[in-house]
Amino acid sequence: MATTRIISMHINKGRTVAQCLTDRTSYAKNPEKTQGGELISSFACDPATVDAEFLFAKRQYRAVTGRDQKNDVIAYQVRQSFKPGEVTPEEANRIGYEFAERFLKGRHAFIVATHTDRRHIHNHIIWNSTTLDCKGKFRDFRRSAMAVRRLSDLVCLEHRLSVIENPKRGSLSYDKWLEKEAKPSQREQLRQAIDAALEGRPADLEALLALLAGAGVEVQRRGKSISLRTETGKKFLRLDRLGEGYGEADLRAVLAGEKEHRPGRKQEVRRPEQRVSLLVDIEAKLRSGKGAGYARWVSKFNLKQTAQTLAYLNQHQLLDYQVLSEKTAAATDRYHQLGDKIKAAEKRMAEIAVLRTYIVNYAKTREVYVAYRKAGYSKKFRAEHEADILLHQAAKRAFDELAVKKLPKMKDLQAEYAALLAEKKAAYTDYRKARDEMRELLAVKANVDQIMGQDERGSAQEKEHGQR
């Protein structure tokens, strides 16, 4: 499970673009946070010189387009935080790199720095606002945060990680979000306490408040208003602030037998397409603090999902458990095969994009490096042309790592890239269909397993009772 946040990185007041790029990338690359720099990966740039390479691309943008930067955004960052204990640092870095590859589509240089200094492992994914061809800029489009979250969730699912099914909008960091989500809110705890107290059938409101006090809820009266607070609550909440059905007038009417109490719950979002959902483990929810009202709702929900599961089995002729298992396994394999095919195409496209960038950088900085060599590797010459020299050296290192003996023609690279892009787009249609089929089959099989498990437990309990 991972949460994400996209951040625009601006020029700080009184600082140059170069200084700001150095500050931001240095924080991400901090050896104390990245296990001595082992947890840093990059695309189309060298982590050691990423600030200089980003700056050089911005200068090239001005030279190629003749345009100056209109806003003060110099780079973008996505913070990707993972649930504690669910991934290793190395796996988190791979997931972050794969996410950045697919989100940026080989158009921007980026680094992925994985930090392990917090309870939750998290990635800092920073990419240059200027494109690799130095002809355009990244546009922080409308609902980009939603696109980032959806792609991050998809990558997590492909790596067998959990995702947040119904994320709430907010600005909390992941560690604070974890602390908040670890237990119900005070308002929810108070509603549950009232639900439990009403099951004791108190005679009147005073008897109800006495039951709440006995359960550890603090009661406060101010004038005509009544407020409650849990043992861990920071402030009192008035009854009329607990939601519909929990105001003083509502509770008095329930206690007098004039109306029925219906435990409050959030309404489900109606979806246009009915899909089979996983059954809810009632016992586990009750152990986590859910009340009897929630249990009644879950019972109805599970009945509905059981009916949908049976309808799916009948419709697709999957009444044999072995056939269901085989079809689920086959759908899962097909989904991963298509995913691997897309990843292979994306990997080669990324290699082409990197190679193309380094070829351009090598050609543009070759004369400067030749002059540097003729100058006897002068320190003064290097200081005056450091950005160009670093880019040239980075390109030469990249050619050595890629074992490039003869530089390919740009025309050939562009043709191969276009063919891979067309192949990837064609594969995505089948990939989405396979993903939907796999998810539904996995949900159906999980429900069948749970129902069969419940039946087996019930039979065992009946047998044990009969022996007594």
How does pLDDT run along the chain (468 residues), one tens digit per residue?
Answer: 567 888 899 988 888 888 899 999 999 999 999 999 999 999 988 888 898 889 888 888 888 888 876 778 999 999 999 988 888 999 999 999 999 999 998 899 999 999 998 878 999 999 999 998 888 999 887 778 888 988 888 888 777 777 765 555 555 554 554 545 545 778 888 888 888 888 778 888 888 888 888 778 888 888 888 999 987 788 888 888 888 888 888 888 888 888 888 775 443 333 444 455 444 443 454 445 555 665 665 566 667 767 777 777 777 787 788 888 888 899 889 888 888 888 888 788 877 877 887 888 888 888 999 999 999 999 899 888 888 888 888 888 888 877 777 888 888 888 888 888 888 888 878 888 888 888 888 877 877 777 666 544 444 444 454 554
Q: Closest Cα to residue 25, out of 38, 40, 14, 36?
A: 40
Q: Minimal CA–CA distance to 123: which of 170, 88, 80, 62?
A: 80
**DSSP code at position 238:** E
* DSSP code for 47: G
* Bridge-based pairing state of the strands 218-222 and 122-128: unpaired
Helix residue ranges per DSSP H, 259-320: 282-287, 292-315
CATH 3.30.930.30 assigned to 2-173: yes
Can you give the residue ranges of every domain in the chain? 2-173, 186-255, 322-439
Taking the C-alpha atoms of residue 126 and residue 107, their distance in angstroms, rounded to an integer, is 13
